[in-house]
Amino acid sequence: MAIRRGRGVAAINYPTGMNLGGDPTQALVHSTPTGNFMVTLSSVDLGQGMKQIMAQICAETIGVPTDRVVVDTADTDTGPHCMGTFASRGTHRAGNAVIQAAKEARQVMLEVAAEELEVNASDLETDGQGNILVKGAPQKSISIFDVALSAHFKRGRSISGRGMFLIPRSYPEKETGAMKPSTCYAHACTVAEVEVDDETGEVTVLTVKNVFEIGRALNPKMVEQQLVGGSWMGISHALYETTEPYYPNRDHGGTDFNQYLMPGPGDLAETEIIVLERPSGDGPYGAKGPGEMCANPQIPAVANAVFDAVGVRIDTLPITPERILRALKAQAN
Amino acid sequence: MALALQTFTTVKDANAALTAAGSRYLGGGTLVVRAANEGDISVATLVRATDPALSTIALSGGKVRIGASATMAEIALHPELGTLAKAARAVGGPAIRNMATVGGNLFAPSPYGDFAVALLALDATVGTDDGDTPIETFLAGRDNSRAIVTSVSFMLPRAGSFRFLKVSRVKPKGVSVLSIAIVLEQAGNGTVSSARIALGCMADRPVRARAAENALLGKTLDQDGIAAALAAATEGTAPITDPIASAWYRAEVLPVHLGRLLLG
Amino acid sequence: MAKVPVQFTLNGSEKAEFVDGGTTLLNALRDKIGDTSPKGGCHQGTCGACSVIVDGELRLSCLTLAETCNGATITTTSGLAEGGVLHPLQRAFLDTFASQCGFCTPGMIMAAKVLLDHTPNPSRDEVVEALSGNICRCTGYEPIIQAVLTAARANSQNAA
Amino acid sequence: MELRKSYFADVRKDDLHEIGQARPRSDSPGHVTGKTTFFADRNFPGMLHLKMVRSPHHHARIRSIDTSEAEKHPGVVKVLTAKDVPHNVYTILILIQIGPEDETVLADGKVRWKGEAVVAVLAETERAAQEAAAKVKVDYEVLPAVFDMEEALKPGAPIVNEYHGQNYYLYDSGECRKVRFGDVEAGFAEADHVLEQSYQSSPIEHAPTETTGCVVAPEGNDRFTCYTNTQAMFFTLDNTSIILQMPGSKLHFVGGTVGGGFGGKVDVIVEPIAILGAKLTGRPVCFIYSREEEMQISSPRAAEKVVIKDGVMKDGRIVARKVTGYTDAGAYSRHSPYGAQKGAGHYPGPYTIPNVWIDTYCVYTNRTPSSAMRGFGVTIGDFALEVQMDKLARLIAMDPLEFRFINAYRDGDMKAHRQPTEGAALIECMQEAARAANWPVAEKYMAMSSYKKGA
C-alpha cells in the first residue's frame, strides 16, 4: 500500500448580488424615547449573522455602541421589502439600506442636539459612546439619551430614517452578452494538501490554506465563522456530497445524515484562514459578500491535489474513493 | 390506527402480544421508532419486555452471556469485555450506543449491524424462549423470526485473538463501507490454527468468509501467507450497493482491508 | 385516541402529562410540555439535534418513547443555566462563536455536557467522539470542538 | 483567522468604532440556551398536519386520482388536489418577469419527476395523515423519461415540460445565454496549444439541520400568519398571493430565524399549500418536510456539465476560451434559468482573456427540480475552470500558480461581459497563499499588483 501526498491550488472570484432581476432592499431605523435604535427589516438571517451585522452597521453610522441597536426582522407586517437572503447580497444590499436609513436618522438626531446645544448641526460629532459633542469643544455635549427624550417630548421630532438600496436590473445584450450581472467581487485562493490511499482511493485532506479578500471584515469573528464553515463545505462538496451517487441510475439517493455523506468532526483538515480587505466602492463600509465564495476554491484545489498525488484526473464531482480507484485501475492497465 | 406501546414484565407475555398483526418488538428504538417516525404505518403496536434479565451481562468460565437489551454503551464500558469494546463502539454515536441493543443489532440490515458481525466471528449462540440457535442460522432466518431474542452467548476470545475493523467514509462515526471481525488462533510456530472471519456489508446481513478462513489455515501472517486468503475474500459474498459505496467498490477494497487487519 | 400518562422530572421540576400512545419524548417535550430546546432535525436518529440527558445518559429524544421515561430525570439545554448564569459550556459556545444558525446547538451542548460530566479534561479525540452523533452544517465543527475544550479548561481552572 | 492589514492599506481607513470589532452575536445567547424561536417551535391548539402524496414515477400521465378512502380515514380533515389550488400553474421567477409559468403546486394530469407533489392530506395527527396518504389511489401511465442533458437536447427526446415546448429554457438570445468577446476562433488558430475538456457534477443537497417548513395560523380576520423559514419573505409572500389568488394584505409572514439555508429555502414550496389548507379548514396547519423529503424532494444544487476549450501560448497567456455550460434544471425552472445566465456572466473566471465565447444552457430533464445553492451558477464553473487551469499549466510545463498570475485580471481589464474590472484582488490572494503554503513563486509575480498604473 502506498499513501501518496499531493497539493493543489485554485484561485477564484465571486460576484455579489443578483442584478439580472433588479436587486432592492429597504430598511427603516428609528430611535426609542431613550435613545436606543430600532432597525426594521424583512431580511432573513439564515445563521450567517445578519441581525448582528445590521446592528453593527447601524451603530457605526449613528455613532452609538452596538448594544444600543435592536434589529427587528423578518416580519412582513412591519419590515419593508427585501429581495431575500441569497446571492451573497444580504450584508451588501441590506447593509447599504441600513446605512442610508441610519444617516437620515442621525441627521435628525444631530439637528435636535443642535437645538439643545444652540449650535449648528454641522458642528456636532458623536463619540461612539452615546454622546454628541461639539467639534473642538468636547466639554459641550449632550447624551443621545437626552436628545431622544427631547425629540420625543419637547421638539416633536421623529429621529428616524428610511433606507433603500437598489441595483437596477441589467438586461444582457442578446448578441454579445454585455451585462452587469453583479456589483463588487470577492476573491480567494486556496492551497490544499491531500493524502491518497492508492489501494482504496480514500482521500484525506491534510491542510487547506485559504486566503480570502472580502472587502471589509465587518465583524472578524463572524467572518471567521463563515469562512471556516465554508471551507469545510467546499471540501465536503469536493469529496463527499451527492444526492444521486450512481447517476444515471437514480436509485440509492441518501435520505438521512448517515447516507448523505459529509466530513465528520474526525475528518477535519487543518484549516488556515487569512483575510485581506480591499474595500469595495459600493459596499457597506467596503464589505463584499463572503458567504458563498468561501466554499468554492477548496473544490478544485482538492481535485488538483488528488491529481498531484496519484496522477489521475477526476473531472466529475464528487471525487469519491470509487472514482479514484477506477481511474487508478484504468491507469494501471 | 394510532401507535401504542404495550409493556410486559415477562418475555413470555411479550411474545404472546407479538402474535398480533402490526406488532413489533421495541428494543432500543433505533430501528422501529425510526420506522414509525418515517411513516411506516405497518408498525402499530410496539411491544417491550422489562425483565431485568434481558439487560444482564454475565461471565463464567470464559463464557459470556449478554442479555439482548444490553446496550452497545454497556458492552463498550464493561470491564471484562474490553476485547469487544472496539466493535461495540463501532455502532453509531454516543447517544445511539446508549440506546442500541445487542438484540436489535442482530436485525439491523446492512450497512448497519457492525456488532452482529463481531458476534458472527465469535460464533455466538442466539437465545430465545424457544431455545438456542447458532448465530449463522439465526441471521439466515431473521426475516421470519418472531420470538424475542433474549440473549447472545459466546466464548470470550483470548486477548489478541479477536480483531475488528470498521471502514467508513465519515469519521469517527460513519456508516460502514464494510466491517470485518476475525477470531484467529495461531499455533506455536505462528501458523494459523483456526480462523473465523465475518464480514459486514458484503451481503444484506453479516456473512462468514469461509474460503478465506480455509485459505489461512496453516499459513503464517505475512504478505505471502495471507495472499490466498485475500484472493478468496469475496468468495460467496454479495456486497450491497447503497449511498455509501457500490458493490463493486466493496468487493475491490475488501481484500485490501482484510490484508491490513491480518497484518496489522 | 388512547392517551397515556407520562411523568418525569425535567430540569428539576416535576412534569405530568397525557400523551397519545407511542409519542416520542421529543414530541412530548416540545408539543405538550413546551420545552422546545430539543430540535427535530431528522426524527431518524441521524442528526443529534434532539439530544437530551435521561438519567445521566445521552439519548435521542426522537427515538425514545415518552412512556418509557416515566420516573426518569431529564435534562435539556433549556435547563442548564442556573439563576440566569450560563453553564460553562454555554459560555464557551458564546465566547468561541460556536453557533451560527443555532439549530444544532442545544443538541451539541447536551452531548458535550455528558462528556464533561464523565471526563472533565477530555482530549480532542474524546471531544470529537462525543460530538460524533451530532450534525452541524454551518460551522465545520472546529469551533464547536474548541468550545468544548474551552469549557473543559474553564471547569478545571475553577476546580483548581 | 488572521487579518493581513498590510494589503490595500492605502485604500482603506481603519478608523471605525463598531465595524471591524468582534462584537458578540446578539442571537447566540438564545442559541446556547435553546430559547431561539424557530418556526417549528410554534405550536397552536388544533393544528393539522399536512402530508404529501408523491409521484413514484419519473414521468407519467395521471389517469385518475381517487381520494375517497383517504377522506373517510379517521382524523382526516381535508384532502387537496390540483383543482383546489386557485392558480395551480406557477413559476417563482415570474416576479422578475422570467416565465413562462411551468410548475404545478399539485400535479395536474401529469407528473414530471419522482417525488412530485400530487395530493395533500390534512389530518389531526401526523400518523392519521400518513395512513390516509397511503389510501390515496393514483392511476399512472408511465411515460419515457430523460435524465441526461445532452439526451434531452437531442431531437426526438421526450418533452419534459410542455409549458416550454422544448427541453431548454428559451432566452431572448435563443437556446442559451451567449457572451461573445473578441474572435475565439482566431484565438485558437494563433494558440500554441488547444485543450478541450469536459467536467460534470452531481446534484448536492443543502442539508440544513432544520428542514424546510412552515406553520400557518388563521387570524380570524381573514388574514393568515405564516411562520416560515423561507430565505426571502416577500418573494414567498408575493408568489403565495399569486398562487392562492389572495390579496397580499391577507398574508402575514413571520420568519428571519432559520436553521441553515444555503440556498435551499428560496423555493416557494410549503407555504402556499399550507395556507390553502388553513383557509379551507379554518385550522392552523403545519407542513414540515421530513428529513427524507429534505434530502430527496427539496431542490438540490443543479447537476452541471461544463465543456471548456482553451487556446494557450507557450509563454502562459490564454488567448482564447470557449465555455459551454449546461445546468440541469430538472423538471421545472424554479431559479435555474437565472443560475445558467449568472454562469454566463461569471465565465471565463477571474482572468483576462482577449477572445471569449460562452454559451450557457438551462436544460429540462425528469430529475428532481434543482434550484439555488451557495455559489449558485458559479461553484461548479469554478471547479471546472480551476481544474482546467491546472491542466493548462501542466500542458505548457509551467507552475500552476505562476500560470494564474500571468492571466489574472487586474483593475481596468475588460471582462468578457464588457464590464471593466474594479477592485481586483486575485493577485494579492495568490501572493499571500504562496507565502502561507511556502509555494515557490518567482519574484516578479510576488511584486505584481492588481492596481494598474494609470488605472
Query: Over the stretch B180-231, which tens digit does the pLDDT of each residue have?
Result: 999 999 999 999 999 999 999 999 999 999 999 999 999 999 999 999 999 9
Note the pLDDT of residue D62: 98
Q: Give the model's confidence band at A19: pLDDT under 50 very low, under 70 low, under 90 confident, else very high.
A: confident
Pairing mode, strands A270-276 and D2-3: parallel
- Alpha-carbon distance of D124 to D133, in angstroms, equals 13
Where are the domain boundaries for CATH 1.10.150.120 in chain C?
A: 88-159
**Measured CA angle at D376 (ends D371, D381), to 5 deg:** 120
Name residues whose C-beta falls within 8 Å of residue C53's C-beta, 6 or more positions apart in sequence.
C59, C74, C75, C76, C110, C113, C114
Residues B29 and B71 in one domain: no
Mean pLDDT for D283-295 is 98
Among the listed residues D260, C77, C150, the one whose alpha carbon sits nearest the alpha carbon of residue A229: D260
Q: Which chains touch B (3 or more CB pairs under 8 A)?
A: A, C, D
Same structural domain, D134 and D189: no
Q: Which residues in chain A have Cβ-Cβ distances shorter than 8 Å to C142?
A: 228, 232, 268, 271
The Cα–Cα gap between A84 and C39 comes to 25
Cβ-defined contacts of A135-141 (< 8 Å, 24+): A141/A117
Of A42, A56, A238, the CB nearest to D23: A56
What are C124's three cell numbers? 480532542
Residue ranges, CATH 3.30.365.10, chain A: 3-16+183-332, 19-167
C-alpha cell recorded at residue A120: 449648528
Instruction: Work out the average pLDDT over D23-40.
Output: 98
Instruction: Please report whether residue D123 resides in a domain.
Output: yes
Other beta carbons within 10 angstroms of residue A310's beta carbon come to 23
Element containing residue A284 per DSSP (H, E): none
Q: In this predicted model, what pLDDT tens digit does every residue of D350-394 receive, in sequence order?
A: 999 999 999 999 999 999 999 999 999 999 999 999 999 999 999
- The verdict on B12 touching A (C-beta cutoff 8 Å) is no
Question: Are D117 and D214 within one domain?
Answer: yes
Spatial separation of the C-alpha atoms in residues C135 and A267, rounded to whole Å: 13
Does residue B141 share a domain with residue B120?
Answer: yes
Residues within 8 A of D (CB atoms), A 148-207 only? 169, 172, 174-182, 184-185, 187-191, 193
In A, which residues are within 8 Å of D181 by CB distance?
Answer: 176-177
Domain with CATH 3.10.20.30 in chain C: 3-79
Does D134 touch chain B if contact means CB atoms closer than 8 Å? yes
Give the integer Cα–Cα distance in Å for D375 and C23.
40
Residues B12 and B56 in one domain: no
Which chains reach chain C with 3 or more Cβ–Cβ distances below 8 angstroms? Answer: A, B, D
Beta strand extents in D201-338 (DSSP E only): 213-218, 224-228, 251-254, 285-288, 304-312, 318-330
Q: Other CB atoms closer than 10 Å to residue A135's CB: what's the count?
A: 11
- 3-state SS, residue D173: coil
CA distance B36 to chain D (A): 9
Alpha-carbon distance B193 to B215, whole Å? 11
Q: What pLDDT is attached to residue B226?
A: 98
Rama region for D349: left / alpha / beta (φ>0; ψ in -120 to 50; rest): left
* Closest among B168, B173, B172, B175 to B112, alpha carbons compared: B175
Chain A contact probe: residue of C134, C136, C137 with most A CBs at under 10 A: C137
Q: How many domains does chain D have?
A: 2
Residue A1 confidence (pLDDT): 62
CATH number for B97: 3.30.465.10
Torsion angle of C-alpha atoms A32, A38, A42, A44, degrees rounded to 10: -150
Task: Give me the mean pLDDT over the A27-41 stretch.
Answer: 98
Print the domain residue range for D211.
Answer: 48-142+207-296
CA-to-CA dists, residue D338 to A20, D93, D342, D344, angstroms: 8, 9, 6, 10
Statement: residue C157 has pLDDT above 90: no
Using DSSP bridges, classify how beta strands D177-181 and D356-364 pair: parallel, antiparallel or unpaired: antiparallel
Across the B:D interface, residue pairs with CB atoms under 8 Å apart total 15
Containing structural domain, residue B69: 52-155
C126 vs C108: CA distance, rounded Å: 14
Where do the H-state alpha helices sit in chain A?
50-62, 95-117, 144-150, 220-239, 298-310, 321-332
| CB-based burial label for A156 (10 Å; 0-12, 13-18, 19+) | exposed
DSSP 8-state symbol, D337: H
The label of the residue with cell 449546461 reads D326
Q: Which CATH number is D74's domain given?
A: 3.90.1170.50
Rounded-to-integer distance, Cα D202 and Cα A246, Å: 9
C63: closest CA of chain B, how far (Å): 5
Indicate the average pLDDT of chain D: 97
- The three cell numbers locating residue B67: 442479555
- Cα angle, residue A48 at apex, residues A44 and A51 outer, rounded to 5°: 55
Question: In what order do the strands lie in the sheet containing D110-111?
Answer: D110-111, D60-66, D137-142
CA nearest to A88, candidates A224, A287, A323, A310? A287
Q: Is B257 on the interface with A (CB under 8 A)?
A: yes
pLDDT of residue D454 exceeding 60, the answer is: no
Fold (CATH) for A19-167: Aldehyde Oxidoreductase; domain 4 (3.30.365)
pLDDT recorded at residue A21:
86
Contact yes or no for A163/A27 (Cβ under 8 A): yes
Give me D228's grid cell: 416560515
Residue D115 domain-assigned? Answer: yes
B90 and B34, same domain (yes or no): no
Contacts of C115 in chain B (CB under 8 A): 94
Q: What are residue D228's DSSP bridge partners?
A: D214
User: What is the mean pLDDT of the segment spanning D185-189?
Assistant: 98
pLDDT at position A163 is: 98
Q: How far apart are CA A132 and CA D165, in angstroms?
A: 65
**Residue A281 carries which DSSP code?**
S
CATH of the domain at B200: 3.30.390.50
Q: Are residues D377 and D352 in the same domain?
A: yes
Taking Cα atoms as reference points, which of D341, D26, D85, B136 lies closest to residue A66? D26
Contact D265 A22 (CB under 8 A): no
Boundary (domain end) residue, out of D296, D321, D345: D296
pLDDT at position D217, please? Answer: 98
C-alpha cell at A211: 486566503
Residue D244 sits in the same domain as residue D199: no
Q: Kindly give, in sequence order, each residue whose CB lies less than 8 Å from that of residue D399, ignoring residues fewer than 6 positions away.
A: D393, D440, D441
Give the gyration radius of chain B's Cα atoms: 19
With contact defined as beta carbons under 8 Å apart, do D70 and D62 qualify?
no
Mean pLDDT (chain C) is 96
- Taking CA–CA distances from C49, the nearest residue in chain A reads A257
Q: Is residue D223 part of a domain?
A: yes
Position of cell 429597504? Answer: A26
Beta partners for B185?
Answer: B194
Q: How confident is the model over D30-56, as a mean pLDDT? A: 98
* CA-derived radius of gyration, chain A: 25
Q: Check CB contact under 8 Å for C41 and D291.
A: yes
Distance from CA of A5 to the nearest CA of B (A): 19
Residue D32 lies in a domain: no
pLDDT for B146 equals 85
Average the pLDDT over A278-293 and give the result.
95
Tell me, what's the pLDDT at D453?
Answer: 66
CA–CA separation, A26 and A42 (whole Å): 8
Residues D289 and D307 in one domain: no
Please tell me which of the candidates A225, A256, A266 has its beta carbon nearest to residue C139.
Answer: A225
Q: Do B88 and B173 share a domain, yes or no? A: no
Does residue D451 fall inside a structural domain?
A: no
Class for domain C3-79, per CATH? Answer: alpha beta
Whether the per-residue pLDDT at D262 is higher than 60: the answer is: yes
Which residue has cell 456636532? A124
pLDDT at A176 (0 to 100): 97
* Residues of chain C contacting residue D260, judged by C-beta atoms under 8 Å apart: 100-101, 103, 137-138
How many domains are contained in chain B? 3
Average pLDDT score over residue span A189-206: 98
Q: By three-state DSSP, how is residue D142 classified?
A: strand
CA distance A64 to D310: 54
How far apart are the C-alpha atoms of D27 and B75, rounded to whole Å?
41
Cα(B52)–Cα(B47) distance, integer angstroms? 16
pLDDT score, position D455: 42
Compute the distance between CA of residue D280 and CA of residue A262 in angstroms, rounded to an integer.
Answer: 41
User: Residue D383 maps to which CATH number?
Assistant: 3.30.365.10
Match domain A3-16+183-332 to its CATH number in 1.20.1560.10, 3.40.1180.10, 3.40.50.970, 3.30.365.10: 3.30.365.10
Residue D260 lies in a domain: yes
- B-contacting residues of D 4-23, CB under 8 Å? none
Within this chain, do residues D185 and D226 fall inside the same structural domain, yes or no? no
Q: What pLDDT is stored for residue C1 in this prediction?
A: 59
Instruction: Please indicate whether, in this complex, the C-beta atoms of D423 and A185 are within 8 angstroms of each other.
Output: yes
Question: CA D380 to CA D347: how far, in whole Å?
Answer: 11
Q: How far is CA A194 from the centre of its chain?
A: 28
Strands C57-60 and C51-54: antiparallel
- The residue out of D255, D271, D296 marking a domain boundary is D296
> Is the pLDDT at B161 greater than 80, yes or no?
yes
* pLDDT, tens digit (0-9, with 9 covering 90-100), for A50-99: 999 999 999 999 999 999 999 999 999 999 999 999 989 999 999 999 99
At residue D105, the pLDDT reads 98
Beta strands C3-10 and C73-75: pairing type?
parallel
Could you tell me if the ipTM is greater than 0.95? yes
Whether chain A has a CB inside 8 Å of the CB on D25: the answer is yes
> What's the CA angle centered on C67, arms C64 and C70, to 5 degrees?
105
pLDDT of residue A20: 85
Give residue-wise pLDDT tens across range C14-41. Answer: 999 999 999 999 999 999 999 999 999 9
Is 3.10.20.30 the CATH classification of the domain at C88-159? no
- Could you tell me the strand order of the sheet in which D117-123 lies? D76-80, D117-123, D48-54, D285-288, D213-218, D224-228, D251-254
Confidence of residue C158 (pLDDT cuts 50, 70, 90): confident
Domain endpoint, select from D276, D296, D316: D296
Does residue B223 share a domain with residue B128?
no
Between CA A94 and CA A164 the distance in angstroms is 8
Instruction: Identify the CA nearest to D370 among candidates D334, D325, D324.
Output: D334
The verdict on a CB contact (< 8 Å) between D28 and C42 is: no
Stretch A139-156: mean pLDDT: 97
Residue D384 and residue D269 share a domain: no
Query: Do D181 and D198 fall into the same domain?
Result: yes
Positive or negative: CA dihedral B37, B40, B43, B48:
negative
